[in-house]
Amino acid sequence: MRTLLAFGVLLLFAATFVRSYTVPPAPDRRGSTVVSLAYPNRPFFGSPRGACLTTPVDEPAIGCLVGSVARAREDGIPLLHLAFCATCYGLSQRIAAFGQDESTVQVKLDQISRFGW
């Protein structure tokens, strides 16, 4: 019983370092969801879109989007590379918008969607 409990605690600890990010399909890229082992500095279901919702409205979004994907790729060790997951993408957006002003988030989402993200 103690061995099973210790294994469960170890598994939960390891799960805190599992992160994913989802990039939507667009004419210039294939969409995908990547699950990686990374330092827990972003939500489990992360996305470039979610990382860029907090930037100022007057700041162009494309730099943040590209930088967010680059950081996610550099910071993590890929475990799985899956096809685009619309559920993960929607969940990451809801997590990122939680507790923020809806009108500001919507303006930023409209700005981001112009770039195909």
Is 6 among the domain residues?
no
- Helix spans in 55-101 (H): 61-75, 86-97
Average pLDDT, the chain: 82
Within a domain: 2: no
**How many structural domains comprise the chain?**
1
With a cut of 50, which residues of the chain have pLDDT below it? none
Asked if 68 and 117 touch (Cβ cutoff 8 Å), the reply is: no
Buried b (16+ CB within 10 A) or exposed e, 34-61: bbbebeeebbebbbbbbbbbebeeeeeb
80 is a domain residue = yes
Q: What is the pLDDT of residue 84?
A: 86
Supply the range of the domain harboring residue 68: 17-113
Assigned domain for 101 exists: yes
Q: Yes or no: say if 114 and 63 are a contact pair by the CB < 8 Å rule.
A: no
Predicted model pTM: 0.70
Quote the pLDDT of residue 113.
80
Report the candidate in 15, 22, 12 with the shortest Cα–Cα distance to residue 40: 15
In a domain, 62, yes or no: yes
Residue 7 lies in a domain: no
For residue 5, being part of any structural domain is answered with no
Please report the pLDDT score of residue 3 as a whole number. 92
E strands present in the chain: 18-23, 32-37, 45-46, 77-83
